[in-house]
Amino acid sequence: AQSVAQPEDQVNVAEGNPLTVKCTYSVSGNPYLFWYVQYPNRGLQFLLKYITGDNLVKGSYGFEAEFNKSQTSFHLKKPSALVSDSALYFCAVKEVLGDSWGKFQFGAGTQVVVTP
């Protein structure tokens, strides 16, 4: 069975400071990992994904994430946060195992608040 955890309900950061949103996962096979963002009254938007290859992946709006297999983590990072980054962030995992190709597991979400 697959699972994903986002240990922080909320992350507060001042504008211009580095932003990190944590995500850990548990799968039996190899993971495909994703980050999505949800702005108020808007649908979820894809940010970035790790499928294979380089452990550091770059995505939209200056975000990046590092896949760490030994720590089973996929933390989202941004070097310099903007007030407009304030939103709800979701980590998701899809287990690559057998014939189960459809099911994605989402974390509970982390609210990011960036203050001016």
Q: Total number of residues binding another protein (CB under 8 A)?
A: 23
Interface with another protein, residue 52, by CB under 8 A: no
Instruction: List, as one string, the DSSP characters of 54-90.
Output: -SEEE-GGG-EEEEETTTTEEEEEESS--GGG-EEEE
Tokens of 3: 């699972």
Query: For residue 53, what are its two tokens?
Result: 């290859």
Which region among 14-22, 62-70, 72-80, 96-104 touches another protein (by CB under 8 A)? 96-104
61 binds another protein (CB under 8 A): no
User: Which residues of the shown chain bind another protein in the complex (CB under 8 A)?
Assistant: 32, 34, 36, 42-46, 49, 51, 90, 92, 94, 100-109
